[in-house]
Amino acid sequence: MTERVVLAYSGGLDTSVAIGWIAEETGAEVIAVAVDVGQGGEDLDVIRNRALACGAVEAEVADARDEFADEYCLPALKANALYMDRYPLVSALSRPVIVKHLVAAARKHGAGTVAHGCTGKGNDQVRFEVGISSLAPDLKCVAPVRDYAMTRDKAIAFCESKNLPIATTRKSPYSIDQNVFGRAVETGFLEDIWNAPIEDVYEYTADPAQPREADEVVVTFRQGVPVALDGRPVTVLQAIEELNRRAGAQGVGRLDMVEDRLVGIKSREVYEAPGAIALITAHQELENVTVERELARFKRTVDRRWGELVYDGQWFSPLKRALDGFVDEANEHVSGDVRMTLHGGRAVVTGRRSQESLYDFNLATYDTGDTFDQSQAKGFIEIYGLSSKIAARRDLHQG
């Protein structure tokens, strides 16, 4: 039986060329798999037919938008996942759902190898290959760009020599990856970190400096899950999509940062994630109202580690799975409403309410009749600071 390779297929030049390239390099039959995670662009049937026209023996397409939102974006929201305290893991979250579909296709078609279009310089090669080895340790991985030196000029020449049905002339100055949770832009003039982004870099967000009326939205959560916007029930996917539109129209979610890649280099990235940033902002504030102090303090440590694991391609790792359990438990009481004003590139919380609230007005108020017994504070301070006081006496004596 001829060896088979499952290829993560986007429909673009590189992965279209990779179909024939892999066949020539290895003699294997190629099965193309395209996964829709809300990246927009062409119809899935068009992509499927292109893969077949480029030489794939089989081509599968999967509409994974709800799956991506419910099983990947939602856990990130519950974990307030922001790599380096800023980046909401736009690309990192999509890789494991694609990996899941690639492995399923490999099993279905009897393939022994999975291929992807990543270079040897980025994080995605790690996310794909570690994910594949975690779900299917027996499968091999191939990256034509990295392993066979499939440079862009060679890809264009190959495409033209084989008369493949894909345009080869237009090339964006940027490398772009996008899905429903956000959009990542790099390379081109952005590689000079002194250069400011220009407006044509952006697609999901409007210029926040342009004058416009503010937009007010109320997000309702149930156990950490966004279930309604302005009182209208929504799925997780619908919540992200609507806030992409509304927050994006206000310029919310633009990020320009130099981040630490897993492979050891620093990279300048420009991100747009209006829905993700708006939802994480609202979720964090509701946690402030409903999560007990010591649990909240520890969860911030877990959130950071959770985000690092996902960024580093460890979605399927034992530690990540264990942290998922903690995050779900910590979200048990994160239910209620958060009101935000979207304007000028910011999502600003202006109100919060919850039946699970730990905020006690009578304890917090400074007005007459408050229920906080201030007379107990003096003794608390004395005991709380006792160990530091004893150490200070010693240090002063020794000095």
Binding residues for L-aspartate: 119, 123-124
One of 95, 183, 254, 352 is an active-site residue; which one?
95
Pairing of the two strands 113-115 and 140-142: parallel
Whether 14 is a known active-site residue: answer: yes
Annotated binding-site residues for L-citrulline read: 87, 123, 127, 175, 259, 271
The SS3 of residue 113 is: strand
Burial label for 28, CB within 10 Å (0-12, 13-18, 19+), is: buried
Q: Which residues of 92-122 are buried (b: 16+ CB within 10 A; e: fewer)?
A: bbbbbbbbbbbbbbbeebebebbbbbbeeeb
One of 4, 14, 91, 352 is an active-site residue; which one?
14
**Closest-CA residue to 244 (of 210, 273, 271):** 273
Annotated binding-site residues for ATP read: 8-16, 117
Token look-up 């979207």 returns: 342
Q: How large is the greatest C-alpha to C-alpha distance in the chain, in angstroms? A: 86
Output the six-digit token pair for 340. Answer: 């935000």
**Closest-CA residue to 362 (of 354, 353, 371):** 371
**Closest-CA residue to 128 (of 313, 329, 355):** 313
Distance between CA atoms of 229 and 244, rounded to whole angstroms? 13
One of 36, 94, 124, 335 is an active-site residue; which one?
124
Query: Is residue 199 within 8 Å of residue 239, measured between CB atoms?
Result: no
- Rounded to 5 degrees, φ, ψ at 368 are -60, 140
Whether 66 is a known active-site residue: answer: no
Annotated binding-site residues read: 8-16, 87, 117, 119, 123-124, 127, 175, 259, 271
Whether 357 is a known active-site residue: answer: no
Annotated catalytic sites, by residue? 14, 95, 124, 175
